[in-house]
Amino acid sequence: MSRVGKNPVVLPQGVEASLEGNVISLKGKLGNATHAVSPLVDVALEDKKIVLAPKNDTTQARALWGTNRSILNGMVLGISNGFTINMEIIGVGYRAALQGNNLVLQLGYSHEVVFPIPAGIKIAVDKQTLLAVTGSDKQAVGQVAAKIRGFRPPEPYKGKGIKYVNEKILRKEGKKK
C-alpha cells in the first residue's frame, strides 16, 4: 500500500477543482492547472479533498497511485502559494539585470548572456547579485533555475559562479608553493 497515495490532497481555501473523466482541473489565485490522471488510478472529489485509489492491484497501478497524488499535491501548492528558488551570483564583476522580458547576466565572458524569461515565470533581481525565480509550476521553476545556474556553475577553488542560496560548494585546496 502506498504511504503517499493513501493520503488525500486537501484543497486550501481559494482553490477550486473540477473532474471530467480522469482529467482534473484546478483553479487558484496564481493560475490554472490541468492534469490527466493515469487510467490505472481512480480519482474522486470529496468535500475539498482529492482522493486517489488504484483500480487494480498491479505493481504499475500502485506506483502510479503515489506518483499522481504527488503531482496533484504539487499543483495545488503551486497555484495556491507558488514556488520560489533563490540564487546567488558570486564573483568580481558578475551581475544580473532585467531588461524588459530578458535577464541579462554578466558572468566574466567576453559577451553578456541574455536569457529570455519564459511565460509563467517571474524573476526578481535584488542588489544585482541575488535572483529569485518564482512561478506556479514546480518543474518549470526548477528548470529555469537550472538553466540560469548552467551559464556559470560554481567552481570549486574560489566558489565563483551562480549557485542556489542553500547550496554548499565543496572547496578544493589551491596550488602549494
Q: What per-residue confidence (pLDDT) applies to 147? A: 94
146 band by pLDDT with thresholds 50, 70 and 90: very high
115 band by pLDDT with thresholds 50, 70 and 90: very high
CA proximity to 56, closest of 75, 33, 36, 40? 40
pTM assigned to the model: 0.81
Structural domains in the chain plus CATH codes: 9-80 (3.90.930.12), 83-164 (3.90.930.12)
The three-point CA angle 122-34-145 to 5° equals 30
Q: What per-residue confidence (pLDDT) applies to 17? A: 87
Q: Decide: 89 and 167 in contact? Cβ < 8 Å.
A: no
Find the mean pLDDT for residues 129-152: 92
In whole numbers, what is the pLDDT of the chain averaged over residues?
A: 89
CA proximity to 50, closest of 98, 9, 19? 9
Q: Decide: 133 and 120 in contact? Cβ < 8 Å.
A: no
Task: Compute how many other C-beta atoms are within 10 angstroms of the C-beta atom of residue 105.
Answer: 22
Find the mean pLDDT for residues 77-101: 91
- Rounded Cα distance between 43 and 54, Å, is 9
Task: Report the run of H or E that residue 3 belongs to, with start and end.
Answer: none
SS3 67: helix
- Rounded Cα distance between 44 and 24, Å, is 9
Q: What per-residue confidence (pLDDT) applies to 1? A: 55
Own/partner long-range contacts of 67-70 (Cβ < 8 Å, ≥24 apart): 67/38, 68/5, 68/35, 68/37, 68/38, 68/41, 68/43, 69/2, 69/4, 69/5, 69/7, 69/9, 70/4
Q: What per-residue confidence (pLDDT) applies to 2? A: 60
Query: The C-alpha cell of 88 is what?
Result: 546567488
22 band by pLDDT with thresholds 50, 70 and 90: confident
Residue 86 pLDDT > 90, yes or no? yes
